[in-house]
A and B are shown apart, each in its own frame.
Chain A
Amino acid sequence: MSGQALHEPFEDLERQRLAAAFGMWIFLATEILFFGSAFLAFSVYRQLHPEGMLAAARETNIVLGSVNTAILLASSVTMAVADKAAEQMRKRETILCLALTAAFGLGFLVVKLFEYREDIAERLVPGPHFALTEPGAQLFFGFYWVMTGIHAIHLTIGIVIVLITIWRIRRGSLAYGRSGFLPSLGLYWHLVDVVWIFLFPLLYLGGRA
């Protein structure tokens, strides 16, 4: 048995699903402005201090960054499949794909932690002991830490929600196939990926032509 799909104040499921997706899209719009403003500030500094910013970008670990990009893309695939499986009420496949998604997400965070450890060892944390001297290099790493940090927080929230969703589907308290919940969760997950798709070239590819 799965939980009740239709909630107050809606009177038909179609409209409720529409509302859930629509609400999530609006939330995504706010997220785009949220990250977009930081991207904008970053671009302004890139314009002001091209050399320093590019020199700093060359210090990032492109191998780990690329691996993580691949991991996140894979997680988006499994998330999309989970959504399709749920549409057809295939409980086992839905849970499996969601579990894979969460696992990829965790994998990303683990790789990111290793990368952070290396960054710290290479004195890439802005401050008196910072490794580079070009003007603007510290700004680059100011943004690097803030942006990847905020992205990681978003991803963590996503993972927690995916895990709770798995638990609720197994317990039977979520009408996973019809309530419009999974597509919304998927939208959120894909957004977190897309943000990374922008972060990756900005932070890792700059200066490496």
Chain B
Amino acid sequence: MTRSLQTPALGGHELPSYLEDGHSLRSWLLSTDHKRIALLYFGSITLFFFVGGAAATLMRLELISPSGRFFSNDGYNRLFTLHGVVMVWFFLVPSIPTTFGNFLLPLMIGAKDMAFPRLNLFSWYLNTVGGLLVIACLVLGGVDTGWTFYTPFSSLFANGYVILAAMAVFVAGFSTIATGINFIVTIHTLRAPGMRWMRLPLFVWTQYATALVIVLATPVLAITLLLLMAERLFGLPIFDPAQGGDPVLFQHLFWFYSHPAVYIMILPAFGVISELVACFSRRRVFGYTAMIYAILGIAVIGFFVWGHHMFVAGMSPLAALVFSFLSFVVAVPSAIKVFNWTFTLYRGQIYFEAPMIYALGFIGLFTTGGLSGLFTASLPVDVHVTDSYFVVAHFHYIMVGGAVSAFFGALHFWWPKITGRMAPDGWARFAAILMYFGFNFTFFPQFLMGYLGMNRRYHQYAPEFQIYHVASSTGAAVLAAAYALPMFYLGWSLIWGRRAEANPWGATGLEWQTSSPPPRENFLKTPQVREQAYDYHPETEAPLHEAPEGRRPHNPQGAGA
């Protein structure tokens, strides 16, 4: 049984691609095509990635010297607040869902578009309005509350444009809610014939779980920010301790959103990694069903662990115990996923192309971040490391090392599908390796200095920490270079890159069965699905040793197609 993958089974070079379907500005800004909206989003999150990145660069620069040389205390506070707000809500939360999710979800389930195409466009405009608000806040002078907006500081005492920042997050939150609703309804109602739930690619499953978390968690943040704004703007007492209000209540509400939000950021990355690992080891995902339960388990349990951010804020010993226990529980499904990816590699035929290098990097960094989460989840250790650089390192390993690596992995993997061009794989591999190296160089020292007592959110520190900070800042320079590189070679590939076939990686999944880039309607005819996901080889045979002829062909890039 050999299969030809060179000619698209379902989609047509006969039709103009979605990129050629209108060239005016209007045809982009008013487009309801999910693929074009994905690109609009790609533009906005790239912009914000660089805004947040600029703030990070300034912070790392400032931290080279223990004396706080360039910024005032207030200036430094504004810097890390801006960095956090932009990176969390304007880059990482929307990143994978709004770009790759938007682009791929209908393609992967065999649909023409999202269930509500106009709502999809509307959500981009909402996101843009939120973005403008945050930029206005930045231009006017910023905020100094930290991305967590803790009351009563934020509501009664802080200088700066708290209202603008909170409003920006509020609006952006509704934009993600709109996207979430669209995803859920699309997956429920627009699957192609034969695309049963248990045949969905794991990327779709993770988008589904993410959307669930988005629609159930984000409204809590929305009302919390409204209450904060009411207190600050109209002087209505809500969290003010002088009136009997409870600031810790704010923290509960905030983390009830913000812990699930970390899964909004990481679940889509899990989906990407499952696709990449399967494709580049020519292997069915090990434990496909277990993966689905793990995804859903994380989405559900993730709602019940928020208290671990507040162990030192004051809570009953029983509550602390329960939150600690549940935080250990939520790590189990994450671990299951890591094991399953590893088992997928076993007896696979592994190709080390750029997307795969990103994926392997993800597994390493995510595991490190997740294990450090277990440290912080255990009460005695957390009391020691709370508000230290240890926590900073923990969440950067997961959110930057993990989620951002997955974002770049996805970008390289689906680049041919999105643009119709191949990226130069040598450069891409170089950037991927540099990113892994630069990341560890930047953030591993932070574990050490955090454990030794370096507090987060300070720009003046004891001189004995300088060596760690200098190491971290040097690493940050490397990391910055690794993040900037793809801009150049991917831009280059748009004009000079080799033209992509429909399925350049020999991957499974409906998105590879239509032309690259796909036509406006995605498919020439409605796909019929007869196979399970990741049909890389017959079910009972591992591809490396048994029946290599049954395996889907894959031409390593550069070996020529």
Residues in A lying within 8 Å of B, measured CB to CB: 8-10, 15, 18-19, 22-23, 26-27, 29-31, 33-35, 37-38, 41, 44-45, 48-49, 52, 126-127, 135-136, 138-139, 141-143, 145-146, 150
The majority secondary structure among interface residues of chain A is: helix
Once the chains bind, are A35 and B218 in contact (CB under 8 Å)? no
Residues in B lying within 8 Å of A, measured CB to CB: 106, 111-117, 119, 177, 180-182, 184-185, 188-190, 215-220, 222-224, 226-227, 230-231, 234-238, 243-246, 249, 253, 256
Q: Which residue of A lies closest to B230 (CB)?
A: A146
State the CA gap A8–B114 with chains docked (Å): 9
Which B residues are in CB contact (< 8 Å) with A38?
A: 223, 227
State the CA gap A170–B16 with chains docked (Å): 39
State the CA gap A161–B231 with chains docked (Å): 30
List 7 contacting pairs A-B, 8 Å CB cutoff, sorted by A.
A10-B115, A23-B119, A26-B181, A126-B235, A127-B235, A135-B244, A142-B238
Q: Which residue of B lies closest to A22 (CB)?
A: B185
Most central of B113, B177, B216, B238 by chain A CB within 10 Å: B238
Known: A15-B189, A142-B237. A30 touches B244 (CB 8 A): no
For A48, give its contact among B189, B217, B224, B246 (CB under 8 Å): B246
Q: Taking the nearest CB of chain A, how far is it from the CB of B107, in angstroms?
A: 12
Q: Which residue of A lies closest to B211 (CB)?
A: A26
Q: Which residue of B lies closest to A145 (CB)?
A: B236
State the CA gap A166–B484 with chains docked (Å): 53
For A37, give its contact among B106, B114, B219, B234 (CB under 8 Å): B219
For B181, give its contact among A10, A23, A45, A136 (CB under 8 Å): A23
Once the chains bind, are B190 and A26 in contact (CB under 8 Å)? no
Q: Taking the nearest CB of chain B, how far is it from the CB of A5, in angstroms?
A: 15
Once the chains bind, are B219 and A142 in contact (CB under 8 Å)? no
Q: Which residue of A lies closest to B218 (CB)?
A: A30
Once the chains bind, are B115 and A23 in contact (CB under 8 Å)? yes
Once the chains bind, are A8 and B112 in contact (CB under 8 Å)? yes
For B117, give its contact among A9, A33, A146 (CB under 8 Å): A9
Once the chains bind, are B238 and A146 in contact (CB under 8 Å)? yes
Which A residues are in CB contact (< 8 Å) with B113?
A: 8-9
- Name 4 extra pairs, CB < 8 A, besides A23-B119, A37-B219: A30-B177, A126-B235, A138-B244, A146-B227
For A33, give its contact among B119, B220, B226 (CB under 8 Å): B220
Which B residues are in CB contact (< 8 Å) with A27?
A: 177, 181, 215
Once the chains bind, are A22 and B189 in contact (CB under 8 Å)? yes
Which B residues are in CB contact (< 8 Å) with A139?
A: 237-238, 243-245
Q: Taking the nearest CB of chain A, how far is it from the CB of B114, in angstroms?
A: 7
Which B residues are in CB contact (< 8 Å) with A146?
A: 226-227, 230, 236, 238
State the CA gap A52–B333 with chains docked (Å): 46
Known: A19-B189, A37-B224. A145 touches B234 (CB 8 A): yes
Q: Taking the nearest CB of chain A, how far is it from the CB of B272, in angstroms?
A: 24
Once the chains bind, are A44 and B226 in contact (CB under 8 Å)? no
Once the chains bind, are A48 and B244 in contact (CB under 8 Å)? yes
Which A residues are in CB contact (< 8 Å) with B190?
A: 9-10, 19
State the CA gap A22–B246 with chains docked (Å): 37
Once the chains bind, are A26 and B215 in contact (CB under 8 Å)? yes
Once the chains bind, are B112 and A9 in contact (CB under 8 Å)? yes
State the CA gap A44–B249 with chains docked (Å): 9
Known: A9-B112, A29-B215. A35 touches B231 (CB 8 A): no
State the CA gap A129–B347 with chains docked (Å): 76
Q: Which residue of B lies closest to A146 (CB)?
A: B230
Which B residues are in CB contact (< 8 Å) with A127?
A: 235
Q: Taking the nearest CB of chain B, how far is it from the CB of A21, in angstroms?
A: 10
Q: Taking the nearest CB of chain A, how far is it from the CB of B229, in angstroms?
A: 9
Most central of B216, B224, B237, B249 by chain A CB within 10 Å: B237
Q: Taking the nearest CB of chain B, how far is it from the CB of A68, in angstroms?
A: 21
Which A residues are in CB contact (< 8 Å) with B218?
A: 30
For A41, give its contact among B215, B217, B227 (CB under 8 Å): B227
Q: Which residue of A lies closest to B220 (CB)?
A: A37
Known: A9-B112, A15-B189, A34-B220. A41 touches B238 (CB 8 A): yes
Which B residues are in CB contact (< 8 Å) with A52?
A: 244
State the CA gap A31–B188 with chains docked (Å): 21
Most central of A33, A45, A145 by chain B CB within 10 Å: A33
Q: Which residue of A lies closest to B224 (CB)?
A: A37
State the CA gap A37–B246 with chains docked (Å): 15
Which A residues are in CB contact (< 8 Å) with B106?
A: 9
Once the chains bind, are B112 and A41 in contact (CB under 8 Å)? no
For A126, give its contact among B182, B236, B253 (CB under 8 Å): B236
Known: A19-B115, A142-B236. A26 touches B219 (CB 8 A): no
Once the chains bind, are B245 and A45 in contact (CB under 8 Å)? yes
State the CA gap A142–B243 with chains docked (Å): 10
Once the chains bind, are A138 and B220 in contact (CB under 8 Å)? no
Once the chains bind, are A23 and B249 in contact (CB under 8 Å)? no
Which A residues are in CB contact (< 8 Å) with B119?
A: 23
Once the chains bind, are B244 and A136 in contact (CB under 8 Å)? yes
State the CA gap A139–B220 with chains docked (Å): 20
State the CA gap A41–B231 with chains docked (Å): 14
Which A residues are in CB contact (< 8 Å) with B177?
A: 27, 30
Once the chains bind, are B115 and A30 in contact (CB under 8 Å)? no
Which 5 pairs from chain A and chain B are nearest by CB?
A34-B219, A9-B112, A9-B113, A142-B236, A33-B219
Once the chains bind, are A143 and B219 in contact (CB under 8 Å)? no
Once the chains bind, are A138 and B223 in contact (CB under 8 Å)? no
State the CA gap A52–B219 with chains docked (Å): 29
For B246, give its contact among A15, A35, A45, A145 (CB under 8 Å): A45
Q: Taking the nearest CB of chain B, how far is it from the CB of A40, in angstroms?
A: 8
State the CA gap A33–B253 with chains docked (Å): 11
State the CA gap A146–B230 with chains docked (Å): 7
Which A residues are in CB contact (< 8 Å) with B231?
A: 142
Which B residues are in CB contact (< 8 Å) with A31?
A: 219
Once the chains bind, are A29 and B117 in contact (CB under 8 Å)? no
Q: Taking the nearest CB of chain B, how far is it from the CB of A86, in angstroms?
A: 21
Q: Which residue of A lies closest to B112 (CB)?
A: A9
State the CA gap A41–B220 with chains docked (Å): 11
Which A residues are in CB contact (< 8 Å) with B215?
A: 26-27, 29-30
State the CA gap A165–B234 with chains docked (Å): 34
State the CA gap A150–B244 with chains docked (Å): 23
Q: Taking the nearest CB of chain B, how far is it from the CB of A133, in angstroms?
A: 12
State the CA gap A142–B246 with chains docked (Å): 13
Once the chains bind, are B227 and A49 in contact (CB under 8 Å)? no
Once the chains bind, are B181 and A41 in contact (CB under 8 Å)? no
Once the chains bind, are B226 and A126 in contact (CB under 8 Å)? no
Most central of B177, B185, B256 by chain A CB within 10 Å: B185
Q: Taking the nearest CB of chain A, how far is it from the CB of B178, in angstroms?
A: 9
State the CA gap A44–B252 with chains docked (Å): 12
State the CA gap A173–B111 with chains docked (Å): 27
Q: Taking the nearest CB of chain A, how far is it from the CB of B165, in angstroms?
A: 19
Most central of A9, A26, A31, A150 by chain B CB within 10 Å: A9
Which B residues are in CB contact (< 8 Å) with A126?
A: 235-237, 243
